[in-house]
Chain A
């Protein structure tokens, strides 16, 4: 079946460091791709999305590009802040079913 693999955490960085969280997905059809974020004590929030190949999703300084050739959707941010500390989920949605398949999550901690 369809699946997603993302970088295992926890990831600990210093403030203003560059962030990459890797994500690859099963290449079945043309899924929509999402990154969701879960801040401490809060619910899941959509961070960004891309719906077709070469699309770049961006929000709050985060970016991810839909790479069909490598079946990847890596999350990047040029300069992280303490407030970015959260768990990040890579999540494809395969149109045949419309459910979202979540990765195991990557816990990110940013040191001041």
Chain B
């Protein structure tokens, strides 16, 4: 298994543009999580899926953010009308069961200019 992968690794966009990130979890993991990490801080939870169902969303996930996991495998995170405050590292993680450790991908670094 190659672990959790994310694409792209880096994204630079202008304010107001839409961006989409992709995450491919470890193949047998049914839970998938998105976190956001800003410089000097720990990751903050955004949302998670069990299979294709989105079970929880953080209040950090404003209406401009949407996440999907249509077939219970890969997931996408879209940010519409990006703002400079959206600049951060977006991390994806997957796990096999509730309470088990989560395995993180390398992250997508978003810079909004």
Chain A residues within 8 Å of B, Cβ to Cβ: 32, 34, 36, 42-46, 49, 51, 89, 91, 93, 95, 97-105
A51 contact from B35, B93, B99, Cβ within 8 A: B99
Number of A-B residue pairs, CB cutoff 8 Å, is 55
A49 to B106, CA, bound (A): 21
Q: Do A105 and B101 form a contact, CB below 8 Å, given A43-B107, A97-B56, A99-B48?
A: no
Residues of B within 8 A of A43 (CB): 91, 104-107
Q: Smallest CB-CB separation from B47: which chain A residue?
A: A99
**Within 8 Å of chain A (Cβ to Cβ): is B42?**
yes
A105 to B45, CA, bound (A): 15
Chain B: interface size category: 20 to 34
Give the 10 A-B residue pairs with the shortest CB-CB distance, closest first.
A102-B42, A44-B104, A99-B45, A98-B98, A43-B106, A102-B43, A46-B101, A95-B99, A105-B42, A32-B99
